[in-house]
Amino acid sequence: MQNRSVLSAVLEGLAALKRCAGVGLIAVGVFCTNTAIAKDDATTCDLLAAHPQDPDRIVDGVPTSVVDQLAAIAACEAGLVAEPGHPRLTYQLARVYFYNGRSADAVKTMEKAAAAGYRQAQFVMGALISNNRPDASGDMCDAEFWWAKSAMAGRLAAQVSYVRHVTKGLFDACALHADEDDMASFLENVRATGGGDYYLRLLVSDLTEDLRAYRDR
């Protein structure tokens, strides 16, 4: 019986190695992660639930397709018992709640992370509202509020989204939390730090023209 358990564990480990290697990650037990930029204080929640595009992650992150949802939820919930209100762990728990179909829990938890100042969560809150996702408020002025905070904190996706929505008139009914000079600074920051991506440069160029027309209207 014991030999069968050992064999089962070995087979699970080999399967994890194959599965993780297929997406450029490494196996930690039966989970996929990437510890290339892991810091000493990385938690199991970080290893299992960090988003690859979160600028404040402390590990490289795990693609959506290979997140072990139940293990990640358990790890992040345990992490928040140990460190109540931790913004990064709260965001990561919200992320995995979404994947697990727990929409109401996800939105509530994401908003907690956003209110705690976590800029990735602030960006996601704006996106959820803008895209009329279930359990999000649906009020575009709430999206403006969260994207303005995230953009002011330097999140590139929020900076682009904020300028695009303002210049398209989607926030016309809102009291704006960023002015035209702020928006020009957002685009300059995206241009300077966006890594020279061709399509991003085109987008910034178009948004710069849109912002100029918005100023002149």
Query: What is the spatial distance between Cα 16 and Cα 53, in angstroms, rounded to a whole number?
Result: 23
Question: In angstroms, rounded to a whole number, what is the distance separating the alpha carbons of residues 46 and 107?
Answer: 19
CATH of domain 32-116: 1.25.40
pLDDT of residue 47: 96
Taking the C-alpha atoms of residue 4 and residue 27, their distance in angstroms, rounded to an integer, is 22
User: Residue 2 has what pLDDT?
Assistant: 45
Q: Which two tokens stand for residue 87?
A: 């913004």
On whether the CB atoms of residues 149 and 177 are closer than 8 A, the answer is yes
Task: Give yes or no for residue 105 having a pLDDT over 60.
Answer: yes
More confident site: 189 or 27: 189
pTM for the model stands at 0.81
Cα 133 to Cα 145: distance, rounded to the nearest angstrom: 17
Share of the chain above pLDDT 70, in %: 82
pLDDT above 70 (res 160): yes
Q: DSSP of 175-217, one letter per residue? A: --SS-HHHHHHHHHHHHHHSTT-HHHHHHHHHHHHHHHHHHH-
- The domain spans of the chain are 32-116, 118-217
